[in-house]
Amino acid sequence: MPPPSRAHPCTPSRADKEAAAAALAKNQAAQWAAQAALRSTEAKVAHLAAIEARRTTLARMQRAAGVNCGSAGKWVEGRRGCITRWSRLGARRLG
């Protein structure tokens, strides 16, 4: 049995342990940063997809209802809550 003052040859030194711990912490921090960037990118993509879906759904609903802006591009609500369209002849009731 070796004397207690001598370390076993296979036992890493304190400096080796600290270097290994620092390398592990650095790798873990890099992984966390990559995962955070991925989550951020996924969140942005999901947000933009939701906006596009709302726009597409609105356009689909307008087409289904026959709402065509024409050249004026202005739709307003009339006196009685009816949607009207501006034309050369004035606002026409659509409904």
This prediction has a pTM of 0.41
Place of tokens 């650095």: 26
Question: According to the model, what pLDDT value does residue 71 have?
Answer: 47
The answer on pLDDT for 6 being more than 80 is: no
pLDDT, mean of residues 60-71: 64
Contacts of 74 (CB under 8 A, 6+ apart): 85, 86
Q: Return the pLDDT at 82.
A: 53
Least confident segment among 8-12, 44-48, 78-82 = 78-82
DSSP structure class, residue 12: P
| Whether 77 contacts 84, CB under 8 Å | yes
Rg (CA), the chain: 34
Q: Does pLDDT of 22 surpass 60?
A: yes
Task: Tell me what pLDDT residue 21 has.
Answer: 93
Instruction: With a cut of 60, say whether residue 31 has pLDDT above it.
Output: yes
Token pair for 44 = 């942005």
Give dist(CA 76, CA 90) in Å, integer: 12
Across 14-18, 74-78, 82-86, which has the greatest mean pLDDT?
14-18
Q: How far apart are CA 91 and CA 73, in angstroms?
A: 13
